[in-house]
Structure 1
Amino acid sequence: MKVFELHFNPKGKEDTIFDSFCYEPINIDEKKLGSLYMAGELKNVLPQNYKLLEDLSSQIKKEYYRTFSRSPEKALIESLKKGNEFLEKLTKEGDVSWLGNLNFAVISLKDYLFQFTKVENILVFLLRGGKITEITENLIREEIEPYPLKVFGNIISGKLSEDDILLILTKEVSEIFQNENLLEDLASLETFTEKKLKELLWKKEKILKEVSGIALLIALTKEPPTFKERIPKLFEFEMEKFSLPRRISEVILWGFIAALSPIKTLILKISRLIKLPALPVLKIPRFQLLRFEKTRKNLILVLIFALVLIIGFYLFQFQEKREIAKIEKNFIQIQEKNQKAENFLILKNYQEANLLFLETWGELSSIEKTLPESEKALNFKNEILVLKGKVESSLSKLNNLIKIEEPELLFNFSQTKLAPQKMVKIGGKLYFFNPATENLFWIDIFKKTGEEIKTERKFNFAQPLNSNSIIFFSKPDILTVFTEPNQFSESKIELPAGDFDFIDFKKFYSNFYLLDKKQGEILKCSLQKCQPWFSKESSKKPENAISLAIDGSIWILNKGDTINRYWGGLYQETLKFDIFPKLEKPTKISIPPTLPYFYILEPAKNRILIIKKSGSPSQVFGEKIWEGEVIKQFQSDKFDNLKDFAISEDGRTIWLLNSLILYQVPLISR
């Protein structure tokens, strides 16, 4: 892999700064997370913001490589949160000049798998096999925990191939590259080399002298660069310099060591020449209170100050005792509540027991946060933690939380060309696709083998049509019917007027339903036409919707722990589940046609939940559960990057797509 940082006329515009930042792993731990690349531009810059790009990239890089137990995608999400916090802090301090003027892109890359996000007017192109794709048009929705100020948001995920080229361009450079056919010239190269890149740029010398901005080029060449190729090379257009392939981490590291060497020598020489003076002997004068009025006043002030300190100390001790006494009183009440929950458990009133245990857990967590820092409080904290552990154990059993140490691995996509994001099941096969790239991949769930299917179109959503067909939806308005083994037919559907951003697509009988995020609308579609589903009389439309499921009613999964139910175009009710751990960031809901359960995916807590919809308490897979509560929830440390899931027709097997791994989870022991 080679990285080329092309900086065009850095001083071309007085009110604009730009820079690129490339971090390569320098040890075994960092190699687990791969490389991190950033490019940014700040317009209408003020003097106090000349280092903003550097400071922002430093915050992101520091968090990205802070710990090595996370996946690259998780590391990127956490580092973007830090970026948001950094920018939010600037805003709170009154610096809002960067708002609307910052263009910034971040890419993480490991083993051909990449994640990417961007802010404002900066573009990313993928050059592959002579084709040019602007991948910023296909954002995969990976929600990052919101902040009051959220600059970095959604990310793109995908898998690169050998000889692919990723190109990050600021707006002005992008326009030149497109107008002067530089993108086409780069994409048409049979073999990419540094020499050919230079030749292409020199041909456009005159026009490139007029442009100001960045082109960050990442070429996935087969052979790794030699040590010499890692040293920065420069070539000039008169006074303008273009920095070419470099391994930033190595250059900075060796430069830093070289710079410190003479400083170290100088310090040693100076230390030998300079002798530190001995400490002087201090003589404390005797106070003569009767003769020196000034001294007497000073002594009085000292005594008053000492008295204030003593009073403050005792007041602090008194206040701390009051706080601990109050906490002890609350703790006794919590213990009584916990005992009531235990009694309900003995009486097999599981629903009441669950509610009381949840209240106990919340109150214990609240007390734990408010404890003062003292030895007595520390001893008291141990009692809280012991009770909290017991409550957690009871809640885990009541909420059927099953932790899986080693889930069954069905297939690994690392040797394929696809980085799957979504999946759909028909018959004995699972089909996988990525909205950012073409092609499908199917897996036989019995033989555990698979094969790629070439496609010309990218697909956003999919639903099973029958036992051997799938219907795909491609934004904004294309339906594609796939019939095994390799037959495709397309049709364009007519949409009502409006600016839609569809986030989910489900089939029910012969109709299809599209969930829109912007207007909170649901469209009911045939193969030819879509129309609004909501009645004008409906009292409530979806807000903060995430996903939908249909069983006659339409169920809308919201951000947080609620689900809205609609029927006949009208709002009916909102369900809120008392679940442990609390449902906070779900991403998908599904209802199998023959089963009365919700299946809900929550990647943030590494789990999938199965919840009873309605009806009286019943026997499910040999266990008694009550209405609206959890039948099963499966959680594993291996589920660290959940993307999608599929369910068997009888509901007894779940397939979970986690990054490049497909897991199979049986709901009952085999």
Structure 2
Amino acid sequence: MENRDLKLYFREIIYYHPTIKKRSVCGVFSYEALNAEEMRMGNIYLVGKIANIASKKRKSFDFLLNLLASAIKRDFYANTQKSTIEAMESALQGANIYLADFTKRGHKEWIGNLDFACLAFSQNNIYLSQTGGPLIYLLRHNSFTNLNKKFIGQQKGGPEKTFTNIASGVIEQGDKLIVASKDILEIASPQIMKEILIKEDGEELYNFIKDKLENQSKIKIKKDEPSPKEPIDSLACLILEVETESNYKKKKPPKIVKDEVLGIDLQQLTNNYFSQAQKLLKTDLSPKPSPFIKFLSKYPIFNHLIAVFILCAIISTPYLVEKINYDIKFKNAEELINRVKTLTTQSKFALAYQDQSTARPLLQQANFLTLTIDPIWKTLPGPLQEKLSNELKAAKEELELQQNTLNNIVVLKNYQEIVDLTKSTYSFNPQGMFVFQDSIYLYEISSGFINKIPLENPVPTLIFVSAKDTFKFGIAGTNSFFLLSDPEKIYVYKEGTNYTTYLIKPDLSNTLDIKDAAFYDGSIYFLNVAKQTILKYQIGDEILEGSDWLKKSPDAQLNNAGALTVDGNVFVAKENGTILQYAQGKLLKDITPQIKPGIGPETKLFTRLNMKNLYILDPVNNRIIAINKENGFTTQYVARDFDLLKDFWVSEDEKNIFFLNDSKIFKAEIEIQN
């Protein structure tokens, strides 16, 4: 029989008993191709259940089930150049890795309790894989086949071999498939399912199962009374029909039965009350007061008590309404906090498996909920606010931690103050810093002084260099450091000369055009923004000799550039946050860190030949960004306590960052995250 343009039409059933204790999680996941490339690979359908789990761990394993489905879908469509079976093999291999890693983290309860089936449908072919004991039946003509037999004798191993085999075959028009957890047999035997599918169609079987499950839901289990047969706690079922689109449309559309919704017609209710009240006003009230009431009414005190009671009821009504209102708001806020915690925990699991595509929307939803909680919390009275404040604070802190983890943010907390120049007897306003021979040197643009601070004994010493000139930049070399002055001078200090400096004149038209400079391998590199070029100069005894380092200059991409560093390659930062990397005088690539917020202006760069990372000071956002020079992995070190970051320096082993904030120098220990 020739099959053309066959499609799978499906119906899903996910059921949990409403009253009995939940001991399992289940799900049905149907993913259909979204574009032409994915259509060539086909659709995937997943049915899974994890049974016999403790109620306190249901959320973790519900997340595992959803994580498996998400991972299989992602890996299946990851490379559209693969064939369908290759894509399925890759997806199942990825699922095995997730399960193995989940087990290593101490979550072993799923082993022996996971029933999971994976089907892929492409170009009239179907591919099946399963683990555990899900039921897969195929009705073709009048034959009802149990496809699980194809997996009998499947090799068993550890979690990394959960999914091993893939069966495949050609489907035909009119085929019907049932994929379900084993609990389906508690609802209908294979013979009953076969008879319904032969006489009717998938819609009829779907309604039959739904009716049976509704009857199951009515069964209530009492603790002290033994039940002859306990109802199933959950069920996952997928019914598939193979048809051409034209034939499927010719079928009689299923009857849509709308559930009856009980509501309150306020207008009718009000009218009824008014009509009854009018009748009462027009009619003599009956029955008449009892003799006992007549007796009490003779005493005025009785009437006074009734009046007081009515008055108290009227006075207390607004208070009661307000209290009920507060109770409702309190419960709403409490529920929202719990939802934030749940979403944060789920994102934590996703990040553990490097699944950022799943973690990010979860955190976005949690963050949105916290914005919803705050207005509610502020309207609560003081005592209720106090009840929620600790939980709300803890939920926000955990959410922030997860957001930082997602964005590779490390908040610098344990930092050490090295020196505070505001406590010195003299005035010194540092503009920048560099480290040379175990000492920090600071320079300012308003004088010809520099400040030396030994790292072992951080006591600042003011050193006089020039009475005429001020300094734009300080550069540390191997055995010397250099101070770039205005307009055409460079002061050079050589090791062991007791801070005696000498002047050299670079062959530059004007050092006012120099935006930044860096030292590497005996040469100084200058960033000249006005001429849109990078200059390389060798250091002589009395003069710097050199020329353009770029093969082609001017380079328009250096427009609005602001910082430069060298490790053999030259890195240049632009004001828009882009980093230009040059090699051998040519542009190698652009680097645009995928971080939020983006990098602001007035950045500074730092790296060395043997360092793994390129470091970026972003003073606008109070952070230092580390980008791995090989794989681009980005870490953000955030210094929230500082508001005027001017410069920084990173130790050779990349374990310490020194940074200048206003007139203070701090040291922070860091761990390389990549």
Q: TM-score, normalised by structure 1?
A: 0.41
Larger Rg: 2
Larger relative contact order, structure 1 or 2 (CA cutoff 8 Å, min sep 6): 1
